[in-house]
Amino acid sequence: MKFKALRLMAVLAAGVVAASSAWAWPDRPITLVVPYTPGTGIDLIARQLSAHLPKVLGQTVVVDNVPGASGNIGSERVARAAPDGYTLLVQVNTMVMNKSLYKASLRYDPVNDFAPVTLTSWGTLLLARNPNAQKAATVKDMVAEAKAQPGKLTYGTPGVGTPHHLSMALLAQKTGMDLLHVPFKGTAGAVTDLLGGRLDFMFLPVHVALPHIQAGKLQALAVGSDKRIPQLPDVPTLAQAGADVGNVDMWYGVLAPKGTPPAIVDQLNKAIADVLHQPDVAKAFETQGMVPATSTPADFGKLIAKDAVRWADVVQKGHITAE
């Protein structure tokens, strides 16, 4: 009996220590790993969080850019980090696309190796065309022309397996279009060819496309969002344009290593929400075409799991392989 009592006291004491350590968090600097180069949209999110979170959490927050392998190097580093709330990942939905694109080389599971913390924002993708390049002035026109001339209409992307690519692949699969994919190494070259009429269509982030649309050099056919956007209220969603493929916008969010205590995840969730609701943060996000958005950890996890299935289906049907 005495042994059992001592054992019970030890278990209770361990629980108290674990709880107190979780609630004492953070007691040292937090690192936000950005698996891409500085200057990207993900980097901007991390920089805003690193500037504002210390006021909420009372600790320094640093950004560590770990680019390479389409974000997989930095993501794997966080997946293998200690689940103590001090190493976090800032990512975009390409993370779940990579699950299908890099089956042979991916050494972490984007769905099961992380504890989702919160969604941070959405980035609108807009389907645009060169108004002087071809006749297809609406999405329905685009579908009809693509079916009449299989493999003739072209679209550009920043590369194979990017959200821009898989979104167009999804649209083509759902509508029965046969389009010619022209991948580039980055967005700039693709936009140049779209403006020059050497490409017919492209999914572009709204902040990239908007100046060209306003100048009359590009026409917006549809937005990838569930709803119309304030910048272009007359432009329909894909569903309203006759192509109901669901929301193809890019989501951004923060994740922790799997096993991070729920108390820490919840504290992070609330702290990040406080930052995202600040007007100056929302204004900074707008410069990158992003709209702040928050979620519960559970809802963010559901979004990640759902998207992993959806994009895996697109990759499989399209026989898409990473370069």
Looking up residue 283, the CATH number of its domain turns out to be 3.40.190.150
Domain boundary among 205, 223, 241: 223
pLDDT at position 289, please?
A: 85
pLDDT at position 8, please?
A: 45
pLDDT at position 322, please?
A: 80
Q: In sequence order, which residues have a C-beta less than 8 Å from that of residue 36 and are 6 or more positions away? A: 42, 43, 65, 67, 71, 74
Secondary structure string (H, E, C) spanning 89-133: EEEECHHHHHHHHCCCCCCCCCCCCEEEEEEEEEECEEEEECCCC
Question: What is the full DSSP assignment across 9-37?
Answer: HHHHHHHHHHHHHHHH--SS-EEEEESS-
Domain boundary among 188, 223, 258: 223
Domain boundary among 223, 239, 263: 223
DSSP H/E element including 69: none
Query: Amino acid identity of 9?
Result: M
Residues 148 and 117 in one domain: no
Residues 140 and 119 in one domain: no
- Check which CATH number belongs to the domain holding 149 and give it: 3.40.190.10
Residues 102 and 134 in one domain: no
Residues 217 and 272 in one domain: no
Nearest alpha-carbon partner for 203 in 222, 178, 216, 184: 222
Describe the chain by its helix, strand, coil percentages, rounded to 5: 45, 20, 35
Q: How many CA atoms lie less than 13 Å away from 231 in the CB half-sphere? A: 21
On whether residue 236 sits in a domain, the answer given is no
Backbone Cα Rg of the chain: 22
pLDDT beneath 70: ranges in the chain? 1-23, 133-135, 323
Domain count within the chain: 2
Residues 36 and 117 in one domain: yes
Residues 215 and 132 in one domain: yes
pLDDT at position 19, please?
A: 46
pLDDT at position 96, please?
A: 94
DSSP H/E element including 168: helix 163-175
Q: In sequence order, which residues have a C-beta less than 8 Å from that of residue 187 and are 6 or more positions away? A: 158, 164, 204, 205, 208
Residues 76 and 111 in one domain: yes
Which tokens is 252 given?
A: 């951004």
DSSP H/E element including 241: none
Q: Which domain holds residue 86?
A: 28-123+249-318
Q: Do residues 161 and 70 touch, judged by C-beta distance below 8 A?
A: yes
Backbone angles phi, psi at 221, to 5 degrees: -90, -35
β-partners of residue 155 are: 181, 201
229-247 residue pLDDT tens: 988 999 999 999 999 899 9
On whether residue 42 sits in a domain, the answer given is yes
pLDDT at position 133, please?
A: 66
pLDDT at position 137, please?
A: 85
